[in-house]
Chains A and B, each alone.
Chain A
Amino acid sequence: DSGVTQTPKHLITATGQRVTLRCSPRSGDLSVYWYQQSLDQGLQFLIQYYNGEERAKGNILERFSAQQFPDLHSELNLSSLELGDSALYFCASSGGVGSLEQYFGPGTRLTVT
């Protein structure tokens, strides 16, 4: 157990819909990263938050957005879902400045039908 939690574990929804994935980092960690894992694209960085502020963006679609709340949990919002958005979505957390190790949560498996 990494100490990072994610909900829900599984999500099945239809094209065009909107979903929210939730992540709680390890106690004391300030950074949250979101990654998408699909068969054809591998593990890809989406976005990072540090202590409530957006720190970096990767190949994140405009239909996707995220935020980190004062209690440091984060939510990833996916809208206008397409079949190609079906994937495993992981969040990872790490500590403060100088802390490089990232610990992954169990992931949310999103299936868009």
Chain B
Amino acid sequence: GENVEQHPSTLSVQEGDSAVIKCTYSDSASNYFPWYKQELGKRPQLIIDIRSNVGEKKDQRIAVTLNKTAKHFSLHITETQPEDSAVYFCAVSRPGATNKLIFGTGTLLAVQP
């Protein structure tokens, strides 16, 4: 079945620095790659997503890049702020009868003020 690996598992940065989280997937048919932010005890919140026909997408301080050949995609957060501290999950889905998400194992991002 589909496997999604996410690295690093923890990431600590200084406020204002950039943070990068990377995910690799195994199913080359995957075509949708969302990123979720989850604060402690809260719901996963969709922050950005990318589809397989696009290589990069930006939304203010966050961006996602996709390399379909290498089967990996990354989340980039610039000018980090303490409120960016959370667990970030990548996910993948493939076209078909279902759009179920297969999640990575999560990255705990800590932004030090």
Q: DSSP class of A's interface residues: helix, strand, loop or mixed?
A: strand
Chain B contacts for A64, CB-based, 8 A: none
Q: Are A33 and B44 in contact (CB under 8 A)?
A: no
Chain A contacts for B104, CB-based, 8 A: 42
Which chain B residue has the least Cβ–Cβ distance from A90? B43
Q: How many residues of A contact B (CB 8 A)?
A: 23
Which chain A residue has the least Cβ–Cβ distance from B93? A100
- How many B residues are at the interface, by size bracket? 20 to 34
- Among B14-22, B45-53, B62-70, B75-83, the stretch that binds chain A is B45-53
Q: Are B105 and A42 in contact (CB under 8 A)?
A: yes
Within 8 A of B (CB), among A35-71: 35, 42-45, 48, 55-56, 58
Chain A contacts for B32, CB-based, 8 A: 100
Tell whether A105 is near chain B: CB-to-CB under 8 Å.
yes
Chain A contacts for B105, CB-based, 8 A: 42
Chain B contacts for A43, CB-based, 8 A: 44, 89, 91, 101, 103, 106
Q: How far is the CA of A103 from the CA of B102 in the complex (A)?
A: 15
Q: Are B99 and A45 in contact (CB under 8 A)?
A: no
Which chain B residue has the least Cβ–Cβ distance from A103? B46
Q: How far is the CA of A33 from the CA of B103 in the complex (A)?
A: 14
Digit string of B77-113 for contact with A (CB within 8 Å is 1, else 0)?
Answer: 0000000000001010100011111111110000000
Give chain A's interface residues, CB within 8 Å of chain B: 2, 31, 33, 35, 42-45, 48, 55-56, 58, 90, 92, 94, 100-107
Give chain B's interface residues, CB within 8 Å of chain A: 32, 34, 36, 42-46, 49, 51, 89, 91, 93, 97-106
A–B Cβ pairs within 8 angstroms, 17 of them:
A2-B43, A42-B103, A42-B104, A42-B105, A42-B106, A56-B97, A56-B100, A94-B99, A100-B49, A100-B51, A100-B93, A100-B99, A101-B34, A102-B99, A104-B45, A105-B43, A106-B43
